[in-house]
Amino acid sequence: MPARPLFPSAGSWPSGPEEAREEQVRLAPLVRAEPLDAERVGLVAGLDVTYAPGEDRLVAAAVVLDAGTLEVVESATAVARPAFPYVPGLFAFREVPPLVEAVGKLRSAPDVFVCDGFGLAHPRRFGLACHLGVLLDRPALGVGKSPFVGTAEPPGERRGSWAPLVDGGEVVGRALRTRDGVKPVYVSVGHRTDLDGATELVLRLAPHYRLPEPIRRADRLSRDVLAGL
């Protein structure tokens, strides 16, 4: 029996930004950093959400890939209304509910969840990847397309080079080059992962494109489903 209601349906969803920030501060200590052996990861789930222009409707997608072949194993989606407005730093309250719903429809148990956004690279060290990882108590990491908090030197131009992302004197993630000469992505720990493992895994998942394949697949699936509504 859970000590605290974990899901929105359980009635603990914040009514506004203030409560949401308090919730993040409460949950942040639950994040655990653990070594992630990228070589041993078998199944990876990519998560993403697409919003309908103008309408208050969205589609969340979870796509499970074989980390070795990058073949899609299965996928699931959820259609919903945003449960929270977009506020920088409170992003997870918008996307976590539908993402958790989509993940709940999966038959497999992915070894790692790859989120479109940040983990510890967050003002309160509790970004989307932390939030989702803690709720599911599964390994999770975040991949962002633009920096949110902190600063990083530009990594070397070659794929694989990276530079620490530092915020408030803390290393909260890495700016990682996944393609030669292309703008880096920003990797951070979500839950039960570490930066070395996350970096290695992201590189493994992004052999050809800037973004890891699981996220690209989830992005495409959520788009396609939304277009078909």
Contact indicator for 218, 116 with CB cutoff of 8 Å: yes
- Shortest Å distance, C-beta 132 to DNA: 10
Closest residue by Cα to residue 36 from 117, 160, 133: 133
Q: Does 117 bind DNA (CB under 7 A)?
A: yes
Residue choice 97, 133, 142, 214 for contact with DNA (CB under 7 A): 142
Using alpha carbons only, how large is the chain's radius of gyration in Å?
A: 16
Contact indicator for 82, 76 with CB cutoff of 8 Å: no
- Shortest Å distance, C-beta 9 to DNA: 21
- Shortest Å distance, C-beta 95 to DNA: 8
Nearer to DNA, 101 or 116 (CB): 116
Token representation of residue 72? 């899609």
Q: Which of these segments, 10-18, 68-76, 122-130, 133-141, binds DNA (CB under 7 A)?
A: 122-130
Q: Does 91 bind DNA (CB under 7 A)?
A: yes
Q: Is the dihedral of CA 125, 127, 132, 138 positive or negative?
A: negative
Contact indicator for 142, 119 with CB cutoff of 8 Å: yes
Cβ count within 10 A of residue 199: 19
Q: Does 53 bind DNA (CB under 7 A)?
A: yes
Residue choice 41, 97, 98, 118 for contact with DNA (CB under 7 A): 118
Q: Does 162 bind DNA (CB under 7 A)?
A: no
Nearer to DNA, 70 or 91 (CB): 91
Give Cα 176 distance to the centre of its chain.
Answer: 16
Q: Which of these segments, 35-43, 104-112, 115-123, 191-199, binds DNA (CB under 7 A)?
A: 115-123
Is 137 a known ligand-binding residue? Answer: no
Q: Does 86 bind DNA (CB under 7 A)?
A: yes
Q: Is the dihedral of CA 135, 190, 107, 209 positive or negative?
A: positive
Task: Fill in the amino acid letter for 89.
Answer: G
Cβ count within 10 A of residue 37: 13
The contact set with DNA (CB under 7 A) reads 48-51, 53, 86, 88-92, 116-118, 122, 127-129, 142, 144-148, 223
From the annotation, which residues make up the binding site for Mg(2+)?
48, 116
Which residue ranges make up the annotated binding site? 48, 116
